[in-house]
Structures are given as C-alpha cells and as structure tokens.
Structure 1
Amino acid sequence: MARPHTIYRSLSALLLLGIVAVVCVSLGNWQLDRAAQRIAIKQDIQAGRSTAPLQLSAGTPPSAFTAWRPASAQGVWRHDLTVLLENRNYQGRPGYWVATPLMLDGKADTAVLVLRGWLPRPASIEQALPAIPAPDGKQTIAGELLARVPRLFELSSATQLPSTLPDPAQGPPRVQNLDLDAYAAATGLKFMPMVLAQTADAIQENGETETGAQLLREWPEPSLDADKNKGYALQWFGFAAIAAIAWLVIAWRTVRRRGKPNSF
C-alpha cells in the first residue's frame, strides 16, 4: 500500500489541478463570450450605418431610434446648459467632450443631447479654457445616434452634475460621466432617448457653416477585435488541457501505487 502522506499529497495535487482546469475553462468561455459580444457590436454598427438617415423631430417614434444610424436635427442650441465631459483624450492629448442640448422644432422643453466635439484642456490651471463656439439661431446638425453618452470607469462620484442647471455663478459643469436621466432632471428638459454625436460642422440658418474648427469630431469606436479574444480563449483551453492531462497522470499513478504492497 502507498504511504498515507503520499496519498494526501496526490489527492491535494488532484484537487488543485481540478480547480485549475475548471478556472481555465471558465476563463476560456468568458473570452468566447467577449468575442461574441464584439461580433454583435460590429454587426449592430454595420446595420445602423446602413440604415437610411433619420431626421429627428419631437415626434420621432421610438422605433426609429437605432444606434449608429445617421441622423440630423434642426433646432437652437442651449449654450447655458453645456456640460464638459472630463478625461476624454484625443491622440494622447487630454481634453473634454462638449455636450450641449439642441432644442427641437421650436419646442420649449424637447431636446436632443449633442456631443459637439473635443476641446483641448489647458496646459495649466492658470490658463483659460478655449472658447466654445456659441452660434445663435437655428442650426442643422448631422451625426450618428448613440445609445448613451460613452462612459468611462469612475472610482468615485466626486464630479457630480449640479442638481439644477443652469447655474449663472459657475461656468459649464465638468463631469466624468453624464447620465441622460440625471441631466434631464437638472435641466427640466425632455430629451430624445438617444444621443447625437456630431460629425460635421453645423449649418446655420443662412446656409453658412459653423466656425468651430477647434472642436474635433473623430469619435472613438468600441474595440471590435474578436480574434484577440478567440486567441486568449484558445490559450486558456490549452492550459485547461495541460491541467487535465496532469490530473489523469497523477490519478493513474496513485491508483497503481495503491495496488502495490509496501516494500522495505
């Protein structure tokens, strides 16, 4: 018979290898799920961008809202309700996204939130923020629909949206993330259920384009590299296979050892 301490070591090794194999398989399946999600996002982007452009109005039905669909809107800016989204880098440069409501169809309370573009952050706190273009009158905005304002990971809620906007005593509020429901509650406006990411200069009522070249509009897109996740999944399944083979080898040796008499 095998010695008791040898049996215990073998059982411990089998338990550890079993756990390793299960964990590796779970991680491999997780990577496959991530790959499937990225493939689905890619398909949604392609489907949205291939849909006919949508002209937004206060009466646009909810069924017409599709993420990534080209859209345009006419209305008047509410510059006093502009919000700056912090930590939005562009080619490694720190800056802000400028978000401003566009009042639709002359309605007093119906708006679409427009991501107008990227603005560079001053190099020091002593420097003033670059001027944000603030054209008056009716504007025509073209862009793509987004399901929400893209979010960044946030450890705390130190940069919260004021409970009431506008605040004449302060400049544009600066927040890490912007929730559309909270923004609607603060402003008293009724927002379209999606956000419009502006992709071209606004066309003003007189036919001229907006003079706001400093607002850059190269919006980041989700990572769509599903092949990378599939490669990671293959690695994890390989580790699981190695652990399973080692488990079988140890189990086979343990069974053989138990079947042999002790030798002195």
Structure 2
Amino acid sequence: MTSQQPATRTKAILALILLALVGAACIGAGLWQLRRAHEREGLLAAIEAGRQAPARVLDAQHRDGPDWHPASARGHWLNPFTVLLDNRNLKGQPGLWVATPLELQDSPGTAVLVLRGWVARPMPSTHLPDLSAAAGPVQVQGTLLHRVPRLFDLGSLGGQPDTALPKPFPAADGQPPSVQNLPLDALAAATGLDLLPVVLQQAPTHDADLIQDWPGPSTDASQNYNYALQWFSFAAIALIAAGFTAWRTLRRPSPSSHA
C-alpha cells in the first residue's frame, strides 16, 4: 500500500494542475464574452445616437463623418464604374448589392461610393435587369459607413482575397464586375477617382427597382451575457473540483507517517 501512495499523490497533483488550467481557460472565455457584450452595447449606443443626429452634407470640403450618421450628397452617377457585391442575401434569398460611385457636383473627379440597394441573383438562364442609375444631377440620402460591410472570404486565407477588379475597368463588354468585398482603395486605384473615405448606404428610394433593406450589425448583448454565465459556471465547477481534490490529497497520510 505504501508504494502506491507517491503515484496516487502525483496523479492528484496532475489533476489539480489540469483543473486549474480548465478553470482559468473558462474564466478567460467568460471575460471575452463580457467584452463582446460591452462592445455590442457601445455599438448599439452609437447607432442610436447616429440616427438621431442631424444629417450631414458630403462635398469637397466635408469629406468625412461618423458612422451611422445620416448624410446626403449631390452629384452625377458614374454608371460605368458600378460594382456588384456577391453573396449578399436578403431574408434567405441569394442576391447582390449594387455599388456605384456618385461624382460630387461641386468637385469633378471626386466621388463617394454609394451602396444603392439589393437585387436578386438571376437564375442561370436569365440575366440581371438594367441596373443603370438615373442620369442627371441627383440628391442621394443615406447612412454613413467607413467601409463596405465585409464578408468572410476564404481566398484571403491563401493571400488571394476576392476584391480584384478587372483591368481595364470598366470592362470592354460594359458588364459590372462581381466581387465579394470592395475596399475603397482598390476601387480608387481601378477608377482613378478621388473617393471620399466613407460609404453612403442609400435610404429607401426608387432606384432601378433595387431594394434598400440593409442588414445591421448584431447588437444583442444578452446572448454574450448568457455565454459568459455559462463559462463562469464551468470555471466554478472546475475550481470546486480542484479544491476537493486538494482537500483529499492533504488529508491522505504521507509515506513518512506510515514508515
């Protein structure tokens, strides 16, 4: 019996270390969920504050503004530079976003990228409808964002993200290219335009039968709080088990006492 006790004590120490590591990992996961909850609460507050803020006017002198604030711009559509953003579903239906630069009326060569709306993906035997925006000066109303909302791109893992625009651009056939994500600097380099550092997400309007129903970011913090509670519960179980193991180990007689 005595020869087995060192091995038993060693196993108990290893179990203590393992339980402590599990408890620490669960506490870390719970704290991360709390940070995510706070981030979502901050995002929700920023969205609500932006919606209540006065509208901004974008022009050559006023090129920027906070996210989620209403804004407007006046100019001409640059239809040849229209880009389709792929894999943008709406209520479970596959489709595309249509993005077209709007050249500012007071500054030729300067433009703001406008997310004009959503169109359903055509069936293999059909074609997209005419997506050309109206000619002539227009006033566009919308919401400011500092980038086109991104989707996860598997190509980015291999160093080849799906953001490439055709060369030359616009293409000779006049068809708008389709990409999954559209960085503003890539569009500026392909078009030669001086793009504003913001994107205008167009408000509901009549524009080539496009649908302006934009999905917002997730702002539900309650789910993160629930996950945090679960992780802290797992941590408590692991630490209680570690305490019980330590108590049993300390109560066990040492080999010297048997001797």
Q: Distance in 2 between matches of 1:117 and 1:105?
A: 22
Task: Tell me by how many angstroms 1:164 deviates.
Answer: 4.1
Residues 1:138 and 2:140 are matched in the alignment: no
Task: Tell me by how many angstroms 1:134 deviates.
Answer: 2.7
User: Which amino acid is 1:102 matched to?
Assistant: L
Q: How does 1:219-238 map to 2 (within 5 A)?
A: 219-238=214-233
- Conserved 8 A contact 1:99-1:113: yes
User: Which amino acid is 1:20 matched to?
Assistant: V
Structure 2 counterpart of 1:76: 76
Residues 1:17 and 2:19 are matched in the alignment: yes
Q: Which has the larger displacement, 48-57 or 158-167? A: 158-167
Q: Distance in 1 between matches of 2:21 and 2:166?
A: 49
Structure 1 counterpart of 2:158: none
| Aligned with 1:31 (options 30, 33, 53) | 33
Q: Distance in 1 between matches of 2:139 and 2:43?
A: 29
Q: Distance in 2 between matches of 1:109 and 1:144?
A: 22
CA RMSD across the alignment: 1.7
- Conserved 8 A contact 2:145-2:199: yes
Task: Tell me by how many angstroms 1:259 deviates.
Answer: 4.1
User: Which amino acid is 2:170 matched to?
Assistant: P
Unaligned runs of 5+ in 1: 202-209
Number of corresponding residues: 251
Q: Deviations over 1:206-246 (max 9, x none)?
A: xxxx453x200010101111111011101101110110010
- Secondary structure, aligned partner of 2:252: helix
Q: Distance in 1 between matches of 2:173 and 2:130?
A: 18
Q: Distance in 2 between matches of 1:251 and 1:161?
A: 63
TM-score, normalized by length of structure 1? 0.90
- Secondary structure, aligned partner of 2:143: strand
User: Which amino acid is 1:45 matched to?
Assistant: I
- Conserved 8 A contact 1:71-1:143: yes
Q: Which has the larger displacement, 104-113 or 221-230? A: 104-113
- Conserved 8 A contact 1:117-1:217: yes
Q: How does 1:111-130 map to 2 (within 5 A)?
A: 111-124=111-124, 126-130=125-129
Residues 1:7 and 2:9 are matched in the alignment: yes
Structure 2 counterpart of 1:195: 199
Residues 1:150 and 2:185 are matched in the alignment: no
Task: Tell me by how many angstroms 1:159 deviates.
Answer: 5.5
- Conserved 8 A contact 1:74-1:105: yes
| Aligned with 1:167 (options 156, 171, 180) | 171
Task: Tell me by how many angstroms 1:200 deviates.
Answer: 2.6
User: Which amino acid is 2:153 matched to?
Assistant: E
Structure 2 counterpart of 1:204: none
Q: Distance in 2 between matches of 1:52 and 1:18?
A: 53
Residues 1:242 and 2:237 are matched in the alignment: yes
Task: Tell me by how many angstroms 1:162 deviates.
Answer: 2.7
User: Which amino acid is 2:54 matched to?
Assistant: A
Fraction of identical pairs, as percent: 48
- Conserved 8 A contact 1:120-1:130: no
Residues 1:184 and 2:183 are matched in the alignment: no
User: Which amino acid is 2:80 matched to?
Assistant: D
Q: Distance in 2 between matches of 1:50 and 1:226?
A: 22
Q: Which has the larger displacement, 138-147 or 105-114? A: 105-114
Q: Which has the larger displacement, 1-10 or 66-75? A: 1-10
Q: Distance in 2 between matches of 1:61 and 1:158?
A: 27
Q: Distance in 2 between matches of 1:11 and 1:164?
A: 67
Task: Tell me by how many angstroms 1:22 deviates.
Answer: 0.7
- Secondary structure, aligned partner of 1:48: helix
Task: Tell me by how many angstroms 1:131 deviates.
Answer: 2.0
Unaligned runs of 5+ in 2: 156-160
- Conserved 8 A contact 1:99-1:115: yes
- Conserved 8 A contact 2:144-2:199: yes
- Conserved 8 A contact 1:58-1:105: no
- Secondary structure, aligned partner of 2:154: coil
User: Which amino acid is 1:249 matched to?
Assistant: F
Q: Deviations over 1:10-45 (max 9, x none)?
A: 112111101100100010001001001101111111
- Conserved 8 A contact 2:204-2:213: no
Q: Distance in 1 between matches of 2:56 and 2:162?
A: 37
Structure 2 counterpart of 1:95: 95
- Conserved 8 A contact 1:28-1:236: yes
